[in-house]
Amino acid sequence: MLATDRRDQLLELIRLRGFAALPDLASKLGVSESTIRRDLDHLEENGATKRTHGGVFYTGPKPKLKHFDRIQSQNFREKQQIAHFAAKRIDDGETILLDGGSTAYELARLLLGRNLQVITNSLPIANLFVGNEATDLVMIGGYVHSKTGVSLGPFAIEMLKDLNCQKAFLSVSGLHQEGLYNSNLLIVETERAMMQSAEQVIVLADHAKFGRKSLSKLCELNEAGTIIVDDGISMDWQKRMREAKVDLQVAPKLGNESR
């Protein structure tokens, strides 16, 4: 069997199961575990899988959402920076909430295999955790926004009233000195309910969001809790955040975390 064909079969097995143990995969394909490991290295480089202790998770294609795919590719490296920095601030055993933002999706990929309770209104994020036995998944229901695959509106808000989490990770489409903004009224209403359900609110925003307004105001700057941004943020905006008493945390470039 050609390596490409074997990898296609391997990926399909992992996709169907969500999580698979290495010995089971080797047995199913009739090859050694060392061969499976090499194939998994290739699949992980392409973002299709993620290795963890005892096996591998599927992290490949999400539901086809053109809008989500488009925004996911924008400032991708900066979003990865922010996600890696945020992941280190999550303790095992915590209950966390992830909204439907593209940076939250990158964060979710880093959390696969960890002992957590994850609450989300995002179909792409929920799809990552389905079949992941290490993580308890709570999916918020409601009207599903077709562009982003997130649940919104009164049913989602009502459900959030009964939930509590240690940390909520939220996204915004604009961050201005007058406050935080998003481009959809229902998203803003749902995110306000998310903020109420969380002990700590953490906003994930790449530097391109600063200085921008959008349709609906989410909250004032000093109500944002913590804001994590990549190192592309200007010194001027860092100064404005300090003056507004915002807990601004700048994520270093990947590979520079210890510097």
How many independent structural domains does the chain possess? 2
User: Which CA distances in Å does 256 have to 84, 223, 259?
Assistant: 11, 30, 5
**120 located within any domain:** yes
- Pairing between β-strand 198-204 and β-strand 165-171 as defined by DSSP bridges: parallel
Residues 31 and 88 placed together within one structural domain of the fold:
no
| Residue the block writes with tokens 């592309």 | 232
Q: Which one-letter amino acid corresponds to residue 26?
A: A
Distant-in-sequence, close-in-space partners of 187: CB < 8 Å, separation ≥ 6: 100, 145, 150, 152, 216
Per-residue pLDDT of the chain (259 residues; tens, 9 = 90+): 678 778 878 887 887 677 788 898 988 888 998 999 899 988 888 778 888 776 888 777 655 555 455 555 567 789 889 999 999 999 999 999 999 998 999 899 889 889 999 999 999 899 888 877 789 999 999 999 877 889 999 999 999 999 999 999 999 999 999 999 998 899 999 999 999 999 999 999 999 999 999 999 999 998 888 999 999 999 999 999 999 899 999 999 876 554 4
- Pairing between β-strand 55-58 and β-strand 49-52 as defined by DSSP bridges: antiparallel
Residues 127 and 18 placed together within one structural domain of the fold:
no
Q: What is the pLDDT of residue 44?
A: 85
**49 located within any domain:** yes
Q: Exposure of 59 by Cβ count < 10 A (0-12 exposed, 13-18 middle, 19+ buried)?
A: buried
**259 located within any domain:** no
Q: What is the pLDDT of residue 258?
A: 44
Residues 136 and 89 placed together within one structural domain of the fold:
yes
Residues 26 and 89 placed together within one structural domain of the fold:
no
Q: What is the pLDDT of residue 259?
A: 40
Residues 9 and 112 placed together within one structural domain of the fold:
no
Q: What is the pLDDT of residue 128?
A: 84
Residues 111 and 186 placed together within one structural domain of the fold:
yes
SS3 content of the chain, % helix, strand, coil (to 5): 40, 25, 30
Final residue of a structural domain among 38, 58, 78:
58
> Which pTM value belongs to this model?
0.75
- Provide the 8-state DSSP code for 76: H
| Three-class SS state of 83 | helix
C-alpha closest to that of 217 among 241, 246, 188: 188
Distance, in Å, from the CA atom of 38 to the CA atom of 174, rounded to the nearest integer, reads 42
Q: Which domain holds residue 150?
A: 66-251
- What CATH number did the domain enclosing 163 receive? 3.40.50.1360
Distant-in-sequence, close-in-space partners of 102: CB < 8 Å, separation ≥ 6: 68, 71, 72, 74, 79, 171
Residues 209 and 105 placed together within one structural domain of the fold:
yes
**227 located within any domain:** yes
